[in-house]
Chains A and B, each alone.
Chain A
Amino acid sequence: MSASTTYSTDSAILLRRSVRQDAGPFVWAVILVATCVLLLVFQKMLWLVVPMLLGLILYYLLVGFLSPLIYWGRTRESAAAIVMGSFLLVTAGLVLAAVPWVVDHLGDWQALVLRYFDGGLHWILETLRWLESSFSFLRNAGFAEKMSQRMTSGSGDVVSHVEVVLMGAAVWAPSLLLSPFLAFFFLRDGHAFNRFLSHAVPNAFFERTLALMHEIDQTLRAYFVGLIKLTVLDTVSLGLGLWLLGFPGPWVLGLICAVFAWIPYVGSILGGLLVVLVAATDFPTQPTMAYWAIALFGFVRLLDDFVYMPMTIGKSLHMHPLITVVMIFAGGAIAGISGLMLVLPVLGVVMVIGTAVGQIVTDERLMARHRFARELRRSMAARDLRGPK
């Protein structure tokens, strides 16, 4: 092998080595701290973060319709307006069609919520009584008696709880209306904004920045679109199972439980409790229905873990399971329910940015190229400037 070939191979290997370096412990520490700080900040401005996330989900669902319109001669602006306008028209049509039905059933639903709440409490009471009759050490504690007293003294609270929920929904409604507005601007200017950002990056880091922005986009798309697909699959599976078991409103119940599942771990438990509550209320004399419902939840959970998740969200976030679990608990401790819901996508994006920035900053060759280009620009700018003779 000639000396020149050896020189070429060595320099190429050196360059390649400098291109890809895994994030070290310092970068990882920065990623985890940045995620926690962001969750804390996001919790303080949920009025903006939630519509932004919903807008982002809407954007990822609609962006596929933009390209054919541009292909057929529309400008990006008009294509975005057509896509969002069509979406709003369809949504408004569905809402208008549903309004009379909702108004007719509003009273029933309020009664239904109260009934299920009552039913759930009675189920807990019956379970406690059954446990006390079976185990003598529990009988001495008198849990059932205390529970019964609390139910009697606090019976009027249920209505106030429902009022609080409805008031909360009314407060959130204007903020949620921001979502389609934001989605429209993501569709119209998102592409230009990406260019605007990449335009600000020096030439030496440009290719790496393109790859970084693409990875962020892919991470968010995979997560949010995957989440929507997972919700549909969960709704169908749970709805079908509940329908076969003979539960009332199986598809609505399935949908509510599937949305609950957006909160990692805790959501599945909440969904399971909701179905048990319905079973206890509608089938008070058939305790087996509650067990069947629990078995169904277990089965759908297994389907989620082994079939649906790999099909939808998959390993889109490329995270170690230990870090995922620890960060979910940290997210919950820092920002409550919102922290639980936001921690994974936030960690995913911060991880992509942190790793890429870490690679760029530690890449000597890229930094040298950047310094060289800056010197070139400086000397070019001062080319015709001369000091006094």
Chain B
Amino acid sequence: MAIKNPFKRQLTMAPRLQRLSGLSLFAGLTRGELRIIDGMLHQRDYLDGEVVFDEGEEGQALYIILEGAIEIRRQLSEEGVVLSVLKGGAFFGDMALLDAAPRSAQARAASSCSLAVFFREDFLGLMDTHARIASKISLQIARQMGARVRQSAGERSPVRQQL
């Protein structure tokens, strides 16, 4: 009888690999590159209302939504204010990949959800071992940040405010 490897369940994640290939963060990565990334990701399940990370907490990882929705909130009042709601395929906490600065907002599950977690030190290690993969991911993060800046500038523009 073959001996069952207790860690095998964690090792075989081909469906997740397929799902990863469709995410904007990993756009442009080859199959081999995705396999490297898949080996680095952790998967976590959160219940509706559960806090993923707090505002002000030291950021250690980037999160990718595989299923469900996440609220990004700021504690501007006692109850907190929802800044945005992210759905499957989106990623958040990306600033943590670039520096260890405190989180600028709180992330909380808006429904039961499944997240892939990309640990900062794994990403930094990737820069040494696979600079090509790291640069592709960095480009996607930079694009996301650019989009956020444009969106925020658009919201503040006088013309938009008049509209």
- Chain A: residues with CB nearer than 8 A to chain B? 4-5, 7-8, 11-16, 19-20, 64, 67, 70-73, 76, 189, 191-193, 195-196, 198-199, 203-204, 206-208, 210-211, 214, 365, 369, 372-373, 376-377, 380
Q: Are A214 and B77 in contact (CB under 8 A)?
A: no
Shortest CB-to-CB span from A250 to chain B, Å, is: 36
Please name all residues of chain B whose beta carbon is closer than 8 Å to the beta carbon of A12 when the two chains form the complex: 55-56, 75, 102
Shortest CB-to-CB span from B155 to chain A, Å, is: 18
Q: Are A195 and B42 in contact (CB under 8 A)?
A: yes
Q: Which A residue sits closest to B47, measured CB to CB? A: A376
Please report the C-alpha to C-alpha distance between residue A107 and residue B147 in the assembled complex, in whole angstroms: 77
Q: Decide yes or no: A71 and B36 within 8 Å by CB, A214-B119, A377-B47 being known contacts.
A: yes
Among the listed B10, B33, B42, B46, which residue makes an inter-chain contact with A210, where contact means beta carbons less than 8 Å apart? B42
Q: Are B55 and A203 in contact (CB under 8 A)?
A: no
Please name all residues of chain B whose beta carbon is closer than 8 Å to the beta carbon of A377 when the two chains form the complex: 47
Closest 5 pairs (CB-CB, A-B): A12-B56, A15-B56, A192-B7, A207-B60, A4-B76
Q: Are A16 and B57 in contact (CB under 8 A)?
A: yes
Shortest CB-to-CB span from A380 to chain B, Å, is: 6
- Chain B: residues with CB nearer than 8 A to chain A? 5-8, 10-11, 31-33, 35-36, 39, 42, 44, 46-58, 60-61, 74-78, 102, 117, 119, 121, 129-130
Please name all residues of chain B whose beta carbon is closer than 8 Å to the beta carbon of A206 when the two chains form the complex: 42, 44, 117
Q: Are B11 and A372 in contact (CB under 8 A)?
A: no
Q: Are B75 and A8 in contact (CB under 8 A)?
A: yes
Shortest CB-to-CB span from B94 to chain A, Å, is: 14
Q: Are B10 and A376 in contact (CB under 8 A)?
A: no
Q: Are B58 and A373 in contact (CB under 8 A)?
A: no
- Show 9 residue pairs from A and B whose CB-CB distance is below 8 angstroms, ordered by the A residue: A7-B76, A13-B56, A16-B57, A71-B32, A76-B39, A189-B5, A192-B10, A199-B42, A214-B121
Please name all residues of chain B whose beta carbon is closer than 8 Å to the beta carbon of A214 when the two chains form the complex: 119, 121
Q: Which B residue sits closest to A373, measured CB to CB? A: B50
Q: Which A residue sits closest to B40, measured CB to CB? A: A191
Q: Are A199 and B10 in contact (CB under 8 A)?
A: yes
Q: Are B32 and A20 in contact (CB under 8 A)?
A: no
Extra contacts besides A12-B56, A192-B10, A210-B60 (18): CB < 8 Å: A7-B76, A7-B78, A8-B74, A11-B55, A11-B56, A15-B55, A19-B57, A71-B36, A72-B32, A73-B32, A206-B44, A207-B57, A208-B60, A210-B119, A214-B121, A365-B54, A373-B51, A376-B50
Please name all residues of chain B whose beta carbon is closer than 8 Å to the beta carbon of A365 when the two chains form the complex: 54
Please report the C-alpha to C-alpha distance between residue A309 and residue B75 in the assembled complex, in whole angstroms: 47
Please name all residues of chain B whose beta carbon is closer than 8 Å to the beta carbon of A203 when the two chains form the complex: 44, 46, 50, 52
Q: Which B residue sits closest to A207, measured CB to CB? A: B60
Q: Are B7 and A7 in contact (CB under 8 A)?
A: no
Please name all residues of chain B whose beta carbon is closer than 8 Å to the beta carbon of A20 when the two chains form the complex: 58
Please report the C-alpha to C-alpha distance between residue A47 and residue B77 in the assembled complex, in whole angstroms: 60
Please report the C-alpha to C-alpha distance between residue A298 and residue B50 in the assembled complex, in whole angstroms: 61
Please report the C-alpha to C-alpha distance between residue A192 and residue B10 in the assembled complex, in whole angstroms: 6
Shortest CB-to-CB span from B36 to chain A, Å, is: 6
Shortest CB-to-CB span from B118 to chain A, Å, is: 10
Please report the C-alpha to C-alpha distance between residue A203 and residue B50 in the assembled complex, in whole angstroms: 9
Please name all residues of chain A whose beta carbon is closer than 8 Å to the beta carbon of B55 when the two chains form the complex: 8, 11-12, 15
Please report the C-alpha to C-alpha distance between residue A377 and residue B47 in the assembled complex, in whole angstroms: 7
Please name all residues of chain A whose beta carbon is closer than 8 Å to the beta carbon of B102 when the two chains form the complex: 12, 15-16
Please name all residues of chain A whose beta carbon is closer than 8 Å to the beta carbon of B119 when the two chains form the complex: 210, 214
Q: Are A196 and B10 in contact (CB under 8 A)?
A: yes
Q: Which B residue sits closest to A214, measured CB to CB? A: B121
Shortest CB-to-CB span from A74 to chain B, Å, is: 9
Please report the C-alpha to C-alpha distance between residue A193 and residue B56 in the assembled complex, in whole angstroms: 31
Please report the C-alpha to C-alpha distance between residue A4 and residue B79 in the assembled complex, in whole angstroms: 11
Please report the C-alpha to C-alpha distance between residue A380 and residue B47 in the assembled complex, in whole angstroms: 9
Please name all residues of chain B whose beta carbon is closer than 8 Å to the beta carbon of A207 when the two chains form the complex: 53, 57, 60-61
Shortest CB-to-CB span from A217 to chain B, Å, is: 9
Q: Are A11 and B75 in contact (CB under 8 A)?
A: yes
**Among B48, B58, B77, residue most surrounded by chain A Cβ atoms (within 10 Å):** B58
Shortest CB-to-CB span from B56 to chain A, Å, is: 3
Shortest CB-to-CB span from A13 to chain B, Å, is: 7
Please name all residues of chain A whose beta carbon is closer than 8 Å to the beta carbon of B75 when the two chains form the complex: 7-8, 11-12
Q: Which A residue sits closest to B112, measured CB to CB? A: A380
Shortest CB-to-CB span from B87 to chain A, Å, is: 20
Please name all residues of chain A whose beta carbon is closer than 8 Å to the beta carbon of B32 when the two chains form the complex: 70-73
Q: Which A residue sits closest to B124, measured CB to CB? A: A214
